[in-house]
Amino acid sequence: MSKEKVKIGIAGLGRIGKVHLENLIYRLPDAEVLVVMDINPELKELSTSLGVSKFYPNFQDLVDETRLDAIVICSPTDTHLEYIERAAIAGKHVFCEKPLSISVTEIDKIKSIIEKYRVKLQVGFNRRFDRNFVKLKSLVESGRIGDPHILKITSRDPAPPSLEYIISSGGMFMDMTIHDFDMARFITGSEVKEVFANGAVLVNPKIGEIGDIDTAIVTLTFQNGALATIDNSRQAVYGYDQRIEIFGSKGMSLVGNTYPDTHTIYDRTGGHTPPPLNFFMQRYTEAYLDEIKQFVHAIRYDKEVPVDAYDALRATQIARAARESLQKQKPIRLEY
């Protein structure tokens, strides 16, 4: 395997599917995308324009492609379990977008499937691959900030997704905060033992009407005693706001936003900089490349994937506890 290109098929060519497809085609010489699948036949044209001539509207046709080593699943969350199972039965390795599922039982099932068919499964927690956050984690691991005491995560989107997306995504804790729950475990290296969530509808009342929130503060308590706060909004008018601070017994380290350039313009009203890079496609461009590169590498050299179904399970458990905490207005303890 090590000399051959890794042959890949992609299911779902929406916002994130396109990011992975372009990285695999233009930036990863070790990989080759042979086929794209999406239920929307109009996307054939896009797929062809990016250089992939085979396009199927049906997942089984993708699975039946015997030359494929792996399938990258970027279709909506409620398709993940079924697609992972069918890919694994056909012996294909899987990269699947987050969340793996909004159901803990389904993730347990996915774990058994992966073990049974001995295929690799990497989960799309892309922020773990952002080089700034990787640095933060290494500072914790090396002991540079001492024992971690407080983690602060700010994670705000520039604009809410469509209501249709929210309905099928499992809601804010499941489609958005899930990244922050994963980062909390990743940076501290500790499991979460208690979750206390508060939420509100302050951006769009229609989000409230479909049973979700658009603004949240979540407090986490870790098994190692550290504490964390996560604050989320579906709408930051100044752009994608992604910051993390870790404070410990020997010091503190923080990662701020990234910008299209570093200029400041001064006038009578003060100094002005450009807004942060607008959204996930811009802010995490290199992180998306690194995560898929590591997936391809894991297949090519038969290594372990860096983020797996266990990580997905833990993040989903925390997201569900946050939802329960919001509903019951009390802290929820996680049992492992």
Ligand X SMILES: NC(=O)c1ccc[n+]([C@@H]2O[C@H](COP(=O)([O-])OP(=O)(O)OC[C@H]3O[C@@H](n4cnc5c(N)ncnc54)[C@H](O)[C@@H]3O)[C@@H](O)[C@H]2O)c1
Question: Which residue shows structure tokens 């208690």?
Answer: 194
Q: Is 334 left (phi over 0), alpha (psi -120 to 50) or beta?
A: beta
The binder of ligand X chosen from 17, 171, 199, 248 (CB under 6 A)? 17
* Token code pair at residue 193: 């033992």
- Measured distance CA(40)–CA(305) in Å, rounded: 30
Closest-CA residue to 133 (of 243, 48, 27): 243
Q: Which positions from 98 through 127 interact with ligand X, judged by CB under 6 A? A: 98, 124, 126
Does residue 280 belong to the site contacting ligand X (CB under 6 A)?
yes
CA 206-211-214 angle, 5° bins:
65
The binder of ligand X chosen from 5, 79, 193, 243 (CB under 6 A)? 79
Q: Which is nearer to ligand X, 74 or 192 (CB)?
A: 74
The binder of ligand X chosen from 40, 53, 273, 282 (CB under 6 A)? 40
* DSSP assignment string, 172-235: HHHHTHHHHHHHHHHHH-S-EEEEEEEEE--S-HHHHHTT--SEEEEEEEETTS-EEEEEEES-
The binder of ligand X chosen from 7, 8, 10, 12 (CB under 6 A)? 12
* Distance of closest approach, residue 315 Cβ to ligand X, in angstroms: 12
Stretch that binds ligand X, among 73-81, 147-155, 221-229, 243-251 (CB under 6 A): 73-81
* Distance of closest approach, residue 91 Cβ to ligand X, in angstroms: 20
* Distance of closest approach, residue 329 Cβ to ligand X, in angstroms: 27
Q: Partners of 265 in the beta sheet?
A: 272
Q: Which is nearer to ligand X, 24 or 139 (CB)?
A: 24
- Measured distance CA(276)–CA(232) in Å, rounded: 16
* Distance of closest approach, residue 179 Cβ to ligand X, in angstroms: 7
Does residue 175 belong to the site contacting ligand X (CB under 6 A)?
yes
For ligand X, the binding residues (CB under 6 A) are: 11-17, 38-40, 43, 59, 74-77, 79, 97-98, 124, 126, 165, 169, 175, 280
